[in-house]
Structure 1
Amino acid sequence: MKRRSTSALPRPRAALLGLIFGVIAAPALAAPRVATDVAPVQSLVTQVMAGVAEPSMVIQRGASPHSYSLRPSEAATLENADIVFWVGDELTPWLTGALDNLAGNADSVALLHTDGTLRHGFRDRVLAEAGHDGHEGHEGHEGHEGHEGHEGHEGHDDHEGHDDHEGHAHEGVDPHAWLDPVNAQHWLGVIADTLARHDPANAERYQANADAARDRIDGLIRQVRGELEGVHDEAFIVFHDAYQYYERRFDLNTVGAISLSDARDPGPAHIAEIRDIVAERDVQCVFAEPQFNPAMVDTVLSGTGARTGVLDPLGSEIPADGDYYTTLINQLSERLVTCLSAG
C-alpha cells in the first residue's frame, strides 16, 4: 500500500493547513527605518530603539554639519527612511531641501522645534562683559511634561532678564541644543512617542528605553555639576560659539568665541577684540575644535599665558553608539576641568 504524500493532500485541506501555518509563521511587521542627522541625535534614537532596530546617520563623522554634501549612500538612507530625526534647519540649512527631495514621504521631526525644548537665542559673539551675567533670557521652554522632578530643571530662572548682551545677538535660535542634557531628556520622550505612533507593537519598549535613558541623564547632570564645581569662575575662550547650552546649564564663564555660532569665519577686528579679552580677563584657556583650522587659535594665544585645549560639540572621536551621549557630556567636563584647573 502506497503512503500518500502530504503534497498530495486534497486541495481544500492543503489550503487550510497553509493558512494556519502561514498565520503562525508570519513575521512581525518591520520596525520603522530611521535616519538621523548628527551623532548626538543618533545616540538618543539608538537608546530608545534598543532591542528593536538601529538608526542610520546621514552626516559623516568629523564633518561640520553647517555645510555638507551628501554622498550617494547617505542620500539613499534618506530616500528609504520612514522617520527622520534631525536638529533642525538652524544647524543644517542644506538638509531642508534634501528632505523635501529625497524623503518627502518620511515623518520629519526637527527636534529643536518641538514644544518643550529649551532654546537660546543665536549670538554673534560672546563678549567679556557677558561672563556669568551675560546670558539672555531663553525662549521656547514650555516645560518637560512628566519630568518635573528631574534635577536638571533647576536653574532655568538664573539667567533670565539679563541685558548685558543686548545689541550683540541677532534673530534666530542657536541650534546646539543637545549640549543641555535637559533638552536631551525631553527629546528622548519625543523620539519614543514618534516611534510608538509608527510601531505600536513596540511602544512599551520604546517608552521603557526612554525612561531608563532619562534616568541615566539625571545621574549624568549630578556628576558633571560636581566635576565642574571648582572652575565656575575661570574665564575661557571657545573656538566656535557652540556651547552656550552647556555653559548655562552648568554655570560656566565663557568670555569669548573666535568664530560664530554658525561657524562663519571671524574678521580681523574680532580676532583683535578676542586677543584683548584674553589679556584683560586673565583667560586661562583657549579651546580649539577638531573640525576647524587651529591657526586662528594660535593667533589668539600668541604672546599670552593662556593654555590651549580641545572641545568638540559633536564628539567626533567618540564611538557612535548608545553610550555616545553620556561620553560626550563627560568629555566636555573632563577637558574643561583639565585645562581650567591646570594653573
Structure 2
Amino acid sequence: MSRKLLAVSATASLIGSVAMAEAPRVAVDIAPVHSLVARVMEGVGAPALIVPPGASPHEYSLRPSEAQALQDADLVFWMGEDLTPWMAGAVATLAKGAQITTLLESEGTTLLEFREGALFEAHDHGHDAHDEDEHSHDDHAHKDEHDHEEHASEKDHDHDHDEHAHDATKEHDHDDHAHDDHAQDDHGHAHGAHDPHAWLSLDNADSWLNLIAAQLSATDPDNAGVYFANAATAREEMAALKTEVSGLLDPVRGGSFIVFHDAYQYFETTFAFSASGAISLSDATDPSPARVAEIQGRIRAEGIDCVLAEPQFNAGLVETVLDGTEANTGVIDPLGATLEPGSNLYPQLIRKMAKTLAACL
C-alpha cells in the first residue's frame, strides 16, 4: 500500500473514531428495541443493550457493565415498568442525567389489554383497532424531547459501578414485584392495564422509528439528517417485512396453535392470525394446574395443531401439555435469543417467528 493510501486510510479511521466518540451514549432495555435504535443510529454510533437476548425481561438482575451503561447514558429507551418492573429503580438511580423515553407511554403506541384466560377466542381481537386517542399517551407526547435541558446536569462518574448494580437490583428484588402473588393464581397477578409486548406490532415499531430519530436528533442535532434518513429507510423496510410475513403465513391460516406465554397478541393482530390459548400468563409466571388442564382439554377436544415453547422458559410445561396429544411443537422466541444483537435483529426476529409458526402448523 502506498504512503498516500496509508495516509487516507489513517485519516478515514480517525474520522470514524471521532464520529463514534461523539455519538450520543444510548442504553436500550431489550434486543428488539435495541435493534430499532441501532438501525436509526447506523453511521453515527451504536447503542448499549441492557438485557441480553437469552434472558427474560420480566425478571433480570443487572450486571455491573449494564449498570454502567445506564449510568453513562445520554438517552435511555425502554419499554416501561409493565415489562421490566425491576428496571424502574435502576433507571431512576443510575440514569439521572439521561433523557428517558418510555415506549409504552409514547404517543402513537397502540396498546392491547391483557387476556386473562387460558383460552382465547377470535372475537378477543375485536378491540385491536383501538382509537389511537384512547391508547396513545398525549401527556407523554415527545415529552422527553422537551425535557433535555432539564436533565442536562453532569453525571457523577465517581461511583463504584458494582455498588450501583447491587443497590439498583437489590432495591427491586423480584420478591418486591408481587411474583409471590401470582403463584398458582391466574387472576391475582399484579400488572398494568396493557400487555407490554408491544414491539411485536410492526405498526408500533414503525411509529417508534421516527420517535427514536427525534429523540436522538434533540440530543445530537448535527446528525439529525442521518437519523431521520435511516428512520425513513427502516420504515420502508418495515412495510416490505409486513408483506413478506403475511405471505409466509397465508398458506397455514387454517391452523390452530397454543403459545407458551401470552406474549404474541400484537403479532397475532398485525397478521390477523390468532392463537387459541396460552399455557402461562403474559408475565410468564407458572400457570396453575387448573390452567394447564384447561389447555390440555382444548388441545384434545379441538385437535390443536401446534404448541409453541420458548427458549427462556420451562420446556417441561410444554411436554406436560403435549402428553397424550398429537400436536406438533416448535420453539418461538419474541426476543431473538439466538440472533446477533444489532440493526438486523428485528426483521430477522419477526421473520423467524413466522417461519417457526408456519412449520409447526
Q: Which has the larger radius of gyration?
A: 1
Counterpart of 1:141 in structure 2: which amino acid? E
Worse-superposed segment, 32-41 or 135-144: 135-144
State the SS of the aligned residue for 1:35.
strand
SS in 2 for 1:318: coil
- Pairs within 5 Å for 1:206-217: 206-217=227-238
Q: Distance in 1 between matches of 2:325 and 2:279?
A: 15
Structure 2 residue 294 is matched with structure 1 residue 273: yes
> Identity percentage over the alignment?
48
**What residue is the counterpart of 1:115 in the other structure?**
107
Tell me, yes or no, if the aligned pair for 1:125 and 1:168 is still in contact at 8 Å: no
Which residue pairs with 2:216 in the alignment?
A: 195
Query: Does residue 1:100 correspond to 2:100, yes or no?
Result: no
Residue of structure 2 equivalent to 1:141: 132
Residues 251 and 215 of structure 1: is their aligned pair in 2 closer, same or farther, counting only changes over 3 Å? Answer: same
- 1:61 deviation in Å? 2.6
> What is the rounded CA distance, in whole Å, between the counterparts of 2:65 and 2:188 in structure 1?
41
| Contact 1:180 1:245 (8 Å CA) reproduced | yes
Deviation at 1:141, TM superposition (A): 2.6
Q: Give SS of 2:127's match.
A: coil
d(CA) in 2 for partners of 1:187, 1:125: 30
Q: SS where residue 276 of structure 2 aligns?
A: strand
Q: Does 1:46 align with 2:38?
A: yes
Q: What corresponds to 1:321 in structure 2?
A: 342
Contact 2:309–2:315 at 8 Å: present in 1 too? yes
- Residue type of the alignment partner of 1:79: Q
1:209-268 alpha-carbon deviations (Å, 9 max, x no partner) = 000000001000011111111222311100011000001111113111001101111000
List gaps (5 residues or longer) in structure 1. Answer: 1-26, 145-166
Distance 2:253 2:271 in 1: 8
Query: Partner of 1:172: helix, strand, or coil?
Result: coil
Range 223-232 or range 195-204, more displaced = 223-232
Residue 126 of structure 1: how far off its partner (Å): 4.2
Number of equivalenced pairs: 290
Indicate yes or no: 2:164 matched with 1:174. Answer: no
- Say yes or no: does 1:125 pair with 2:146: no
C-alpha distance in 2 between matches for 1:189 and 1:168 = 37
Query: Judging changes above 3 Å, is the alpha-carbon distance between structure 1 residues 168 and 124 closer, same or farther for their aligned structure 2 residues?
Result: farther
2:312 corresponds, among 282, 288, 291, to: 291
Aligned to 1:237: 258
Q: Which has the higher contact order (CA 8 A, sep 6+)?
A: 2
* 8 Å CA contact retained: 2:31, 2:52: no
Alpha-carbon deviation of 1:136? Answer: 4.5
Deviation at 1:137, TM superposition (A): 1.3
Residue 83 (structure 1) aligns with = 75
Q: Deviations over 1:109-145 (max 9, x none)?
A: 01111010111012223415x1x3222514573499x
RMSD: 2.0
1:32 aligns with 2:24: yes
2:47 matched to which residue of 1?
55
> Which consecutive segments of 4 or more residues in structure 1 shift more than 6 A?
167-170
TM-score normalized by the length of structure 1: 0.81
Question: 1:43–1:324: 8 Å Cα contact kept in structure 2?
Answer: yes
Q: Which moved more, 1:280-289 or 1:29-38?
A: 29-38
Instruction: Quote the residue 1:334 is aligned against.
Output: 355
Aligned counterparts of 2:52 and 2:108: Cα–Cα separation in 1? 29
2:118–2:294: 8 Å Cα contact kept in structure 1? Answer: no
Distance 1:78 1:281 in 2: 48
**Structure 1 contact 36–56 (Cα < 8 Å) conserved:** yes
Which residue is equivalent to 2:285?
264
